[in-house]
Structure 1
Amino acid sequence: ECKNSEVSGLIEGKITVTQLLNLKASSKINGAIVTNKLSIEPGAIFTGNCAMNEGETGGTTAARGKEEGK
């Protein structure tokens, strides 16, 4: 787990970033991502699951919409 991360190589497994995760064009991710903000450059490869957080209070926008019946 870290605050911010920039990936330009291969990662297999779970990545947890509390603020910004930046996937460079040369990156290849196989696994799960948990982050608040995600930036993906063209050419980056991501295979797996991604959970977007909004900090301690929010949860994901999709989850909030589901709870509200939208």
Structure 2
Amino acid sequence: VCENAVIDGTFKGKLKVNDLLTVRETAIIDGDVFTDQLNVESGAVFNVNCVMGGQKIKTIQESATK
């Protein structure tokens, strides 16, 4: 879990970002993404299940810690 993230390489797995996730054009992401805001640059590979919205993320995080 992080506040903001910028991905410009390869990422596989579950990614939880509290505020802004930026996916650069060179990025390849596979997995599950939970974020409040999302910026995907043209050319990025973004093969994910994505949940957006601050309240949903907080609820998911709280459930994960129990």
Interval containing the TM-score (normalised by the shorter chain): 0.7 to 0.9
Runs of 4+ in 1 over 2 A off after TM superposition: none
How many pairs align? 56
- Output the CA distance in 2 between the equivalents of 1:48 and 1:23: 12
- Output the CA distance in 2 between the equivalents of 1:33 and 1:52: 8
- Output the CA distance in 2 between the equivalents of 1:39 and 1:48: 14
SS at match of 2:42: coil
Q: What is the percentage of aligned positions where both structures have the same residue?
A: 36
**Which is higher, the Rg of structure 1 or of structure 2?**
1
2:33 corresponds to: 33
- Output the CA distance in 1 between the equivalents of 2:25 and 2:47: 14
- Output the CA distance in 1 between the equivalents of 2:48 and 2:23: 14
Q: Normalization by structure 1: what TM-score?
A: 0.76
* Uncovered stretches (5+) of structure 1, i.e. residues with no partner: 60-70
* Uncovered stretches (5+) of structure 2, i.e. residues with no partner: 57-66
- Specify which structure has the higher proportion of helix: 2
- Write the deviation string for residues 12-45 of structure 1: whole angstroms up to 9, x where unpaired: 0010000000000000001010000000000000
